Amino acid sequence: MAFDSFSAFLAMGGHGPYVWACYAMFFLLMGVVIWWSLRQRRVVIAQQQRRAAPMPSADERPTASFTRIESSQD
Amino acid sequence: MWQIFHKLGSPKWFFGIASTLMPWLLVAGAALLMTGIVWGLVFAPQDYLQGNSYRIIFIHVPSAFLAQSVYIMMAVAALVTLVWRMKLADVFVTAVAPVGAVLTFLALFTGAVWGKPTWGTWWIWDARLTSMLILLFLYFGVMALGAAISDEKSSARAVAVLVLVGVVNIPIIKYSVEWWNTLHQPATFKLTEKPSMPAEMWVPLLLSVLGLYLIFGWLACLRMQTHILAREGRTRWVKELVQARGN
Amino acid sequence: MSEPLLQAVNLQCERDDRILFRDLSVSILPGTLTRVEGPNGSGKTTLLRILAGLNDSYSGDLLWRGRPRHAYREEFLRNMLYLGHRPGIKPLLTPMENLRTLMAGRRYVTDKVLWQALEGTGLGGFQNVPSRNLSAGQQRRVALARLLVADEPLWILDEIFTAIDIHGVAALERLLVERVASGGAIVVTTHHDFNLPSMHRVTLGGRHDHGL
Amino acid sequence: MASEAKLPVRTPEESVSALSAMKAVFSRDLKTAFRQPQDLLNPLLFFVMVVTLFPLGVSPEVAFLREAGSGILWVAALLSVLLSLDHLYRHDFNDGTLEQLVLQPQPLFLLVLAKSLAHWVLTGLPLVMLAPVLGVMVHLEGNSVAILCLTLLIGTPVLSLIGSIGAALTLGLRSAGVLLSLLIIPLYIPVLIFGTGTVMAASESASVGGQLALMGAFLVLALTLAPFASAAALRISLSNS
């Protein structure tokens, strides 16, 4: 044990802010990366589940008629 | 030989292996990293020159170490992508680049914060810091290019070319930055690695480096799986897998 | 039956997460005209670009005279002429200069021959006018002039009738028919109604499902 | 059904030599550029204007300018090359001549090399020729000006060659210009460092032979490797279009 007390541990001999800022940033960013990666995975899985519903195949693709849509303009 | 190679390159096979591997990677990585950090923070002796600020080393060195080796790994994967067109290799490159960028940023950030109590300044245009900054730029370039090309496959191949061009440049950049550094400032701020680091210091350091490596392995598997799911959505096994998760 | 010039075996191509075609096998024989058909977005242009060697995001094999094409890239390119949507004409250069640079990397052709080729596409008198002053149809004709001097046995032509007037279309059709008769192999896409008795057809879209 | 008539299949030896194909690409690029002289002038004007910003924005003092002059000129030259790179393949891509270039029965990297050289002749070389005037304006001494021009002469082809990779990679993308800068600036750093470092060493009357040799080595490396990377990048970009 390199420290006499918990407060000495927190103070780090006056270098506390520097040390803790580094560790905070490290865990924060690693946490964000991990959270983001997990979220991305959930999003992709949800996406693929939606896509599992079959797309219209080329046969049943609607054909273009190019008829004008009549809408009255007052 | 080719069979094994192709099996290694098969996304389905990788997905299975990764799934079984990931819990182990995560548990072992987290355990090693936490042991290293707690040991380093609480039990390791104070440095007689720098006081307690040196305890930043237990995250700074692992981040810096990984930041560089991730780029090298990406370059190897890029070469495999371009030469053998192995599917998994290009998935690796795109999946891992953001993690590399974050690690590079962490190395820079912790280095700067460590520099304040040690050198009295947040930032010096020291050779190591400068080349790390350029590495961060390279990562940003890779990510920007990857995001700009919508088609996954072309994107992966373009990124592979860029990564390879970058890796050829890394030694040149490193060398030129060092040369430039000696030209501009005589080595007043030379932070020399003390050759005889006591075991109570380097063992926890080693543990945290290993731990972060394993965590990176877990993250890489996770992100690669995500990219594979997104890319191979049409294949039967992905459909079945996705359906199984939904129910 | 003579040996095929270009063969595609089990070609598959997906773009932006959509399979354009799969298990597509085509043989392109000398003396035949192959028409690639299909609705908009069915991958006609993509297929032609793959056949021409411009697009290599496909899986499957491409054989040039029975051998892997990538190993004989230069020989293949020397014997293949591709005309795409974009005519490959620099607006700042004159038709003569354009034609000269298009031929420059392939083989030596005298200016006199090129001049005649431009005349043959109806551009007589325009040879030295900057191409940007020409109409869209005239610019395409500059590109088409290559067909009049081409010695490549394989032509891959994407929508070459676009912006060409009726007389031009008729003359162009005659050119293609004659070329086939003399042993050339031609692959075309066109929306324009173009029919030859012995035409091969490759139909995209419709026959291939979108999922597994 | 297939007619019996057969056309001869040519061998690659029946095409023109790679050298004359390169010459054709090179001269075509020069010709098109000279038909639109404004495009040639723009990077040069940009170069002059960026250099003008420093005395106005930082300090017109002779001492500062003499100290920073080589750096200012190098950064300005680098930026104007960067600015001109976007055009390197874009016009060719849009009008379809790039497709025809890729389809020539020639090694693509040689054609790419010819294009990069044309780009250097059209942008880098004029910058080198303009540099002495600007060097005098930022109060560089005679010897430094000469060395500066020499470093620019060796360094700007490297900028064109490396830039060609970035231009090929970002071909046909939205906001390609900014992206191109992001990709390429980190790769330009060694050239910049050695370019300015050499001039500085010369102004302290140290010998610069070693640095110049190193820059020469950069040039050789870029000449041998960059065209391959550009050619690969072009193929990928065309596949994607």
Cβ-based contacts of B152 with chain C (< 8 Å): 17
Q: How confident is the model at residue D1 (pLDDT cuts 50, 70, 90)?
A: very low
Q: How confident is the model at residue C79 (pLDDT cuts 50, 70, 90)?
A: very high
Cβ-based contacts of C209 with chain A (< 8 Å): 57-58
pLDDT at D173 over 80: yes
Q: How confident is the model at residue A58 (pLDDT cuts 50, 70, 90)?
A: low
- Residue whose C-alpha is closest to residue C38's, from C196, C188, C173: C188
Task: Supply the pLDDT for residue A55.
Answer: 58
When the pLDDT of each residue in chain D is averaged and rounded to a whole number, the result is 90
User: How many angstroms separate the CA atoms of B100 and D71, rounded?
Assistant: 31
Domain-located, residue C169: no
Q: Does residue B193 sit at the C interface (CB-CB below 8 Å)?
A: no
DSSP C163-201: T--HHHHHHHHHHHHHHHHTT-EEEEE-SS----TT-EE
Query: DSSP 3-state assignment of C159?
Result: coil
C73 and C59 in a common domain = yes
**Cα angle B95-B99-B101, degrees, rounded to a multiple of 5:** 115
Q: Does residue B231 sit at the A interface (CB-CB below 8 Å)?
A: no
User: How many angstroms separate the CA atoms of B245 and A44, rounded?
Assistant: 12
Task: Supply the pLDDT for residue C209.
Answer: 43
User: How many angstroms separate the CA atoms of D11 and C76, rounded?
Assistant: 9
Domain count, chain C: 2
β-sheet bridge partners, residue C33? C186
E strand or H helix at B201: helix B199-231
Task: Supply the pLDDT for residue A56.
Answer: 58
C159 and C72 in a common domain = yes
Q: Does residue A34 sit at the B interface (CB-CB below 8 Å)?
A: yes
C60 and C73 in a common domain = yes
Q: Which residue has the higher pLDDT, B246 or A17?
A: A17
Number of neighbouring beta carbons within 10 Å of residue D116: 28
pLDDT at C210 over 80: no
Least confident range of C72-76, D8-12, D95-99, D110-114? D8-12
Q: How many angstroms separate the CA of residue C119 from the nearest CA in chain D?
A: 22
C41 and C66 in a common domain = yes
Domain-located, residue C192: yes
Buried (b) or exposed (e) across C94-111, using 16+ Cβ within 10 A? bbbbbbbbbbbbbbebee
Q: What is the mean pLDDT of residues D70-98?
A: 92
User: How many angstroms separate the CA atoms of D196 and D193, rounded?
Assistant: 6
Q: Is C160 exposed, middle or buried (0-12, 13-18, 19+ CB in 10 A)?
A: buried
C42 and C3 in a common domain = yes
Q: What is the mean pLDDT of residues D14-35?
A: 91
C62 and C19 in a common domain = yes
Query: What are the structural domain ranges in chain A?
Result: 17-51
Q: Does residue C106 sit at the D interface (CB-CB below 8 Å)?
A: yes
C39 and C8 in a common domain = yes
pLDDT at D163 over 80: yes
What's chain A's length in residues? 74
D182 φ/ψ angles, rounded to the nearest 5 degrees: -60, -40
The answer to whether C92 and C139 are in contact (CB under 8 A) is: no
Query: DSSP 3-state assignment of D6?
Result: coil
Q: Does residue A29 sit at the B interface (CB-CB below 8 Å)?
A: yes
User: How many angstroms separate the CA atoms of B204 and B55, rounded?
Assistant: 11
Least confident range of A10-19, A50-59, D56-65, D177-186? A50-59
Pick from A15, A25, A26: CB nearest B117: A15
Size of interface A-B (CB pairs under 8 A): 101
Q: Does residue B154 sit at the C interface (CB-CB below 8 Å)?
A: yes
Cβ-based contacts of D95 with chain C (< 8 Å): 86-91
pLDDT digits (tens, 9 = 90+) for B165-180: 999 888 888 888 888 8
The answer to whether C37 and C191 are in contact (CB under 8 A) is: no
Task: Supply the pLDDT for residue D3.
Answer: 47
Helices (DSSP H) in C67-155: which residue ranges? 73-78, 95-104, 111-120, 136-149
What's chain D's length in residues? 241
What's chain B's length in residues? 247
> Which domain covers residue C117, as residue numbers?
86-151
The answer to whether B106 and A29 are in contact (CB under 8 A) is: yes
B79 φ/ψ angles, rounded to the nearest 5 degrees: -60, -45
Contact C97 D31 (CB under 8 A): yes
Report the phi/psi class of residue D104: left, alpha or beta, with left for phi > 0 and alpha for psi in -120 to 50: beta
Pick from C89, C153, C183: CB nearest D3: C183
Pick from B151, B152, B234: CB nearest C212: B234
Query: DSSP 3-state assignment of B247?
Result: coil
Residues 104-133 of D with CB under 8 A from C: 104-107, 111
pLDDT at A34 over 90: yes
Looking at this protein, which amino acid is placed at residue C61? D
> CA torsion angle for C191, C196, C198, C199 (degrees, to 10)?
-10
E strand or H helix at C14: strand C6-15
Interface confidence, given as ipTM, is: 0.85
C159 and C56 in a common domain = yes
Task: Supply the pLDDT for residue B66.
Answer: 92
Residues 126-165 of D with CB under 8 A from B: 162, 165
> Which domain covers residue D119, as residue numbers?
19-239
- Residue whose C-alpha is closest to residue D241's, from C49, B146, C137, A17: C49
C105 and C15 in a common domain = no
pLDDT at B190 over 60: no
pLDDT at B8 over 70: no
Contact C209 A57 (CB under 8 A): yes
Strand ranges across the sheet with C67-68: C18-28, C6-15, C59-64, C67-68
pLDDT at D109 over 60: yes
- Show Cβ contacts of residue B195 under 8 Å, excluding neighbours closer than 6 positions: none
Q: Does residue B60 sit at the A interface (CB-CB below 8 Å)?
A: yes
Task: Supply the pLDDT for residue D45.
Answer: 94
Pick from B134, B137, B145: CB nearest D179: B145
Report DSSP state, residue C105. T
DSSP C28-59: E-TT-EEEEE-STTSSHHHHHHHHHTS----E
Q: Which residue has the higher pLDDT, D216 or B232?
A: D216
Query: What are the structural domain ranges in chain B?
Result: 21-46+53-186+200-246
Q: How confident is the model at residue C27 (pLDDT cuts 50, 70, 90)?
A: very high
Q: How many angstroms separate the CA of residue A61 from the nearest CA in chain B?
A: 19
Contact B141 D183 (CB under 8 A): yes
Domain count, chain D: 1
Task: Supply the pLDDT for residue B186.
Answer: 46
Place of tokens 């006018």: C129
Most confident of A13-17, B51-55, C70-74, D231-235: D231-235
Number of neighbouring beta carbons within 10 Å of residue D121: 16
Q: Please indicate whether chains B and D are in contact, defined as at least 3 beta carbon pairs under 8 Å.
A: yes
Q: Does residue B133 sit at the D interface (CB-CB below 8 Å)?
A: no
Cβ-based contacts of D102 with chain C (< 8 Å): 54
User: How many angstroms separate the CA atoms of D12 and D16, rounded?
Assistant: 9
User: How many angstroms separate the CA atoms of A48 and B176, rounded?
Assistant: 48
Cβ-based contacts of A53 with chain B (< 8 Å): none
- Rounded to two decimals, the pTM is 0.88
Best to test chain D binding among C2, C33, C64, C90 (most D CBs inside 10 Å)? C90
- Show Cβ contacts of residue D13 under 8 Å, excluding neighbours closer than 6 positions: none
pLDDT at C211 over 50: no
CA quadruple B70, D180, C90, D123: dihedral positive or negative?
negative
- Residue whose C-alpha is closest to residue D144's, from D78, D196, D212: D196
Least confident range of A42-51, D24-33, D229-238? A42-51
Task: Supply the pLDDT for residue A53.
Answer: 65
Contact B169 D190 (CB under 8 A): yes
Q: Does residue D21 sit at the C interface (CB-CB below 8 Å)?
A: yes
Pick from D6, D12, D15: CB nearest C30: D6
Contact B42 A1 (CB under 8 A): yes
Q: Does residue C167 sit at the D interface (CB-CB below 8 Å)?
A: no
pLDDT digits (tens, 9 = 90+) for B37-65: 888 888 877 776 777 778 888 889 899 99
C99 and C114 in a common domain = yes
pLDDT digits (tens, 9 = 90+) for D209-228: 888 999 999 999 999 999 99
What does the block give as tokens for B12? 């389905």
What's chain C's length in residues? 212
- Residue whose C-alpha is closest to residue C168's, from C194, C138, C197, C191: C138
Q: How confident is the model at residue B189 (pLDDT cuts 50, 70, 90)?
A: very low
Task: Supply the pLDDT for residue B188.
Answer: 45
Place of tokens 């080198």: D128
Q: How confident is the model at residue D161 (pLDDT cuts 50, 70, 90)?
A: very high
Q: Does residue B26 sit at the D interface (CB-CB below 8 Å)?
A: no
